[in-house]
Amino acid sequence: NKQPLFTPELTAEEGTLLRCGQNLPVQPGAQYHHSSHCEPPSQNLHLQENPHRDARSAGFQTALSSSSLSGGVNGCHALSSYPIKQEGYKLGSALGDFSGGMGAGRRELDRLSSGGGSGGGEGNLATVLSLSAMAVTVYPFNNEDGSSLLALSPSSRHSARPNTSGLKRRCLSVASQSASEGIDIAANICSSQMSCVNGLRTNSSSPTAATFSHKPLPGPQLPSPSTSSCLLPLSSSSSSSSVSSVEHCEDVGSMQPGPGVGSSEGLGLLIQPGAVLDSCTATLKQEPVDEFSPSEEELFQHHYHYLTSHGSHCGGHSHHHHHHQTGPPRLSMPPPYHLHQYMGSGPGALLHFQSQQQSPPSGLLAQPKPTGLVEQQVDDREDVFSDKQVCRWIDCSAAYEQQEELVRHIEKVHIDQRKGEDFTCFWAGCVRRYKPFNARYKLLIHMRVHSGEKPNKCMFEGCNKAFSRLENLKIHLRSHTGEKPYLCQHPGCQKAFSNSSDRAKHQRTHLDTKPYACQIPGCTKRYTDPSSLRKHVKIHSAKEQQVRRKVRVKT
């Protein structure tokens, strides 16, 4: 159906002329307005009233210039006057004149980004809040006996791909026993874009958290107390009522309690009976399945427990910290890879409470999402933050209006600053689980999984598809051009394919190498790919059930 606007008969230039620049708004003189989440939280650094285009968008579609694709799909660099944000946007500066006014934008970007915005802002935090933060984020690291957040009950260590539609406001409650600490904590933890720890108090009725006494334990420490959590003021109530500090977390974008929060076992050291750990969640969409995340059932159980024992609710009041860029300033970089590995006795656990927000940026909501392992979106919070691009890098909860801003943020704050370090993705819930990439560029590309950035747009008329990777765009373009460079190597077979993967799959049919065998007793069916096998098993099972039903009816 899709007729290429430029056919192979057209020259590359013709094709380029015709196609380049579609749907690519130009904003000359645009200045980079970086909303660093490192700025003091009191300011409106989160909302970009006038979101500016990234100067780097000035890069032209040059990436395809080296493409060997037939049909004249040869890139736009020569003739396009539009700053197409494509894979090659990095070339923007190199292109010089091509980038036009955008070059100035880039310089402005550099100036701004180097000039500040990365300050600490530690002073903005009250001591008590810092202590609360420690209670939430540091303490888990220090457990030596594995009974902390890191020590997950087997039941909590299973995968969950929850359809969170039923949890538009997920309130998670955990009431657990702390045998060793003797601390009564009424914690209202709203972990999401901001992790809110509210109402930390001691048995002595002191409203301060200063008496929170956890003994430092050996083991890796966080570089510094993470203050990424939004720490609401302590409850003024000195009552021993465990429900005294039920707060409303309405600025919560999303969260999905991770292993620690979801597991009362995990929090057992911290929370005494009656203590309340209440997560009011709001999930924009699902991040990749975290096999260590609590299941929906667990979440519900905790919630139910809380509701029944404390009569709590999530629709509280007060403490309306509506920061779009949420959370206090970052104080430190995420812990290095080895620390995460240490924490990794419950991978994801150390993603502390932020990691529990299993919601990828909402920007992906509008796009057809890959249905693979990487991300599963569940738009169950259209009412909150649905228009925000949220950074879920560990210890970060920056939110932006525009996806581009999030992309810039990720690159600037989380990738560029990891010079010389391992190139590890610390995105909450990332299935890579802190396995570093061997190159910065790889991490950069990988982050598109989370940001949803797809800078490689198909230039064919009527095709609005976009791809995160240039290679995949090239393969896609072959579906337009009909190019099938991968010939089946089986003697006598003339089949051709647009990519080697499909060819390999096809060739397996020749070799009868069907590694995916049906495990159903008596069934000898085999398939070349797991997808087909699953389909078969499904049908097989359905048939068997039918047979069983018939047998039952007869008897």
Partner DNA sequence: GTCTCTGTTCTT
Partner DNA sequence: AAGAACAGAGA
Among 18, 29, 90, 208, binds DNA (CB under 7 A): 90
Segment contacting DNA (CB under 7 A): 99-107, 207-215, 275-283, 460-468? 460-468
At its nearest, how many Å lie between DNA and the CB of residue 123? 36
By CB under 7 A, is residue 85 in contact with DNA? no
List 223, 315, 370, 462, residue binding DNA (CB under 7 A): 370
Give, for 532, the enclosing helix (H) or strand (E).
helix 530-554
Binder to DNA among 26, 505, 518, 540 (CB under 7 A)?
505
Stretch that binds DNA, among 5-13, 82-90, 278-286, 538-546 (CB under 7 A): 82-90
Query: Which of 531, 541, 545, 546 is the binder for DNA (CB under 7 A)?
Result: 531
**Binding region for DNA (CB under 7 A) out of 43-51, 136-144, 223-231, 445-453:** 445-453
Q: Is 396 in the site for DNA (CB under 7 A)?
A: no
Q: Does 415 bind DNA (CB under 7 A)?
A: no
Select the residue interacting with DNA from 444, 459, 460, 481 (CB under 7 A).
Answer: 444
Phi, psi of 446 (to 5 degrees): -60, -35
Out of 154, 216, 218, 368, the only residue in the binding site for DNA (CB under 7 A) is: 368
Q: Is 487 in the site for DNA (CB under 7 A)?
A: no
d(CA 91, CA 75): 13
- Strands, DSSP E only, in 258-401? 279-281, 389-390, 399-400
Interface pick for DNA out of 206, 501, 545, 546 (rule CB under 7 A):
501
Does position 210 interact with DNA (CB under 7 A)? The reply is no
CA nearest neighbour of 411 among 369, 446, 365: 446
User: How many CB atoms lie under 10 A from the CB of residue 528?
Assistant: 19
In the complex with DNA, the residue whose CB is nearer, 69 or 196, is 69
495 is a site residue for DNA (CB under 7 A)? yes
State the nearest-atom distance from the C-beta of 116 to DNA, in Å. Answer: 25
Which residue, chain included where needed, has tokens 């200045």?
31
Contact residues for 524 (Cβ-Cβ < 8 A; gap 6+) = 517, 518
68 in contact with DNA (CB under 7 A)? yes
Instruction: Give the list of residues 6+ apart from residue 154 with CB closer than 8 angstroms, or none.
Output: none
Contact between 66 and DNA per CB under 7 A: yes
**Residue 306 lies near DNA (rule: CB under 7 A):** no
Distance CA 53, CA 32 (A): 7
Three-state SS at 251 = coil
**Which positions from 262 through 301 interact with DNA, judged by CB under 7 A?**
none
Q: How far is CA 45 from CA 84, 390, 398, in A?
A: 27, 13, 9
Among 402, 119, 135, 429, which Cα is nearest to 256's?
A: 429
* 375 is a site residue for DNA (CB under 7 A): yes
Which string of b and e fits 392-427 if b means at least 16 CB within 10 Å?
bbbbbbbbbbbbbbbbbbbbbbbbeebeeeebbbbb
φ/ψ of residue 405, rounded to 5: -65, -40
| CA 473 to chain CA mean position, Å | 23
CB nearer to DNA: pick between 63 and 384? 63
Minimum CB separation of residue 48 from DNA in Å reads 25
Residue 180 binds DNA, judged by CB under 7 A: no
CA 89 to centroid of chain Cα atoms: 23
Say whether residue 374 binds DNA (CB under 7 A): yes
Shortest Cβ 531–DNA spacing (Å) = 3
Does residue 468 belong to the site contacting DNA (CB under 7 A)?
Answer: yes
433 binds DNA (CB under 7 A): no
Q: Does 538 bind DNA (CB under 7 A)?
A: no
Helix (H) or strand (E) holding 466: strand 466-467
| Segments of 47-164 assigned E as strands | none
Min dist CB 89 to DNA, Å, is: 9
Q: Considering beta carbons, is residue 184 or 287 the nearer one to DNA?
A: 287
If one asks whether residue 465 binds DNA (CB under 7 A), the answer comes out as yes
Residue pointed to by tokens 């009909």: 482
Interaction between residue 536 and DNA (CB under 7 A): no
SS3 272: coil
Q: Which of 211, 46, 196 is nearest to 127 (CA)?
A: 211
Which one of residues 130, 195, 283, 498 is an interface residue with DNA (CB under 7 A)?
498
Please report whether residue 525 would count as binding DNA according to CB under 7 A. no
Q: In this chain, which stretch among 8-16, 162-170, 505-513, 541-549 interacts with DNA, using CB under 7 A?
A: 505-513
289: Cβ contacts below 8 Å, ≥ 6 apart: 159, 160, 161, 373, 376, 431
- For residue 541, state whether it binds DNA (rule: CB under 7 A): no
10 Å Cβ neighbour count for 369?
A: 16
**By C-beta, is 76 or 174 nearer to DNA?**
76
Chain residues in the site for DNA (CB under 7 A): 63, 66-68, 87-88, 90, 368, 370-375, 432, 435, 437-439, 441-442, 444-446, 448-449, 454, 465, 467-472, 474-476, 478-479, 486, 495, 497-502, 504-506, 509, 514, 527-532, 534-535
